[in-house]
Amino acid sequence: MTSTPRRPASPDEEILSAEWPDVRTELTDPERVERIGAELTRAFDALRDVRDGITVFGSARTGPGSPEYEAARELARRLAADAGATVITGGGPGVMEAANRGAREGGGRAVGLLIDLPFETGSNGYLDVEVPFHYFFTRKVSFVRYSNAFVAMPGGYGTLDELFEVLCLVQTKKIRRYPVVLYGTAFWGGLVAWLRERLLADGLISPGDEDLFVVTDDMEEIVAICADACRRQHGYLGD
């Protein structure tokens, strides 16, 4: 007896499980490709005038008043006020809200690249530019395309995904060596030690790959790194 294919639980399941007989196909491959292309086109159009972009990654679960929230807020304020940066985040709550809020307070622009999630709706309310995305990968393309440096605050799987996406692109020379900064030595120390003691020691990454990022608690150092990245981008563009 043949069962009737069920409707996919999400558009992503419809794509990723398209060959499963128990998941109903609702779009053709050309229709999927068209949707992906339209999403990138919309993002490129909305962000075309972004300059001196610094992306701040971090947890959506960190509330106002927490040390991580206040650190992200102060860091973004300094990036905007002292480095003239446009602060780019995922546009959601937590560290993302804090960074966009700080950018506003520092007189800079706040950009949010929003992802469509069932448990997270709407922007954080501190955005000058917001761009909605359905696909994580089109969103990550946009983070990389419009950023001169990346700062990873404490976060979970999403933050790690974004961080290692950037590190992989730098390692494989798919992009130039953009600065990547991990804020919080206590938070990131265990991961960094594991990268050195296991991946590097076991030959799973090359010598030097463990130095593709900076780990620091010093906001002044982060602002200086990001400001220098913006200056170098100006030279690259011939401004």
Q: Residue 187 sits in a domain of what CATH number?
A: 3.40.50.450
Which pLDDT score, from 0 to 100, does residue 19 have? 55
Structure letter (DSSP) for residue 107: T
Statement to judge: residues 85 and 200 lie in one domain: yes
Which pLDDT score, from 0 to 100, does residue 74 have? 98
Which pLDDT score, from 0 to 100, does residue 27 have? 76
pLDDT exceeds 80 at position 36: yes
Which pLDDT score, from 0 to 100, does residue 117 have? 86
pLDDT exceeds 60 at position 60: yes
Mean pLDDT of 28-46: 94
Against a cut of 0.85, is the pTM above it? yes
Statement to judge: residues 33 and 127 lie in one domain: no
pLDDT exceeds 80 at position 174: yes
Which pLDDT score, from 0 to 100, does residue 120 have? 66
Which pLDDT score, from 0 to 100, does residue 1 have? 46
Statement to judge: residues 148 and 63 lie in one domain: yes
Among left, alpha and beta (phi > 0; psi -120 to 50; other), residue 52 is: left
| d(C-alpha 85, C-alpha 98), whole Å | 15
Contact present, 214 and 182 (Cβ < 8 Å): yes
Statement to judge: residues 215 and 204 lie in one domain: yes
| d(C-alpha 166, C-alpha 25), whole Å | 33
Closest by CA position to 92, among listed 56, 38, 45, 50? 56
Statement to judge: residues 41 and 98 lie in one domain: no
Statement to judge: residues 12 and 121 lie in one domain: no
| d(C-alpha 151, C-alpha 163), whole Å | 9
Statement to judge: residues 147 and 226 lie in one domain: yes
Statement to judge: residues 59 and 42 lie in one domain: no
Statement to judge: residues 140 and 171 lie in one domain: yes
Mean pLDDT of 168-179: 94
Distance from the first to the final alpha carbon of the chain: 68
Please give the radius of gyration of the chain, using alpha carbons only, rounded to the nearest integer: 19
Which pLDDT score, from 0 to 100, does residue 118 have? 78
Statement to judge: residues 58 and 131 lie in one domain: yes
Statement to judge: residues 202 and 116 lie in one domain: yes
Structure letter (DSSP) for residue 106: T
Question: 128-158: per-residue pLDDT in tens?
Answer: 999 999 999 999 999 999 999 999 999 999 9
Contact present, 95 and 64 (Cβ < 8 Å): no
Answer yes or no: is 2 within a domain. Answer: no
* Residues listed for the chain: 239
What are the residues facing 88 on neighbouring strands? 55, 111
**Total domains in the fold of the chain:** 2
Statement to judge: residues 43 and 60 lie in one domain: no
Answer yes or no: is 189 within a domain. Answer: yes
pLDDT exceeds 70 at position 53: yes
| d(C-alpha 38, C-alpha 18), whole Å | 21
List the domain range (segments joined by +) for residue 184: 51-237
Answer yes or no: is 1 within a domain. Answer: no
What are the residues facing 56 on neighbouring strands? 151
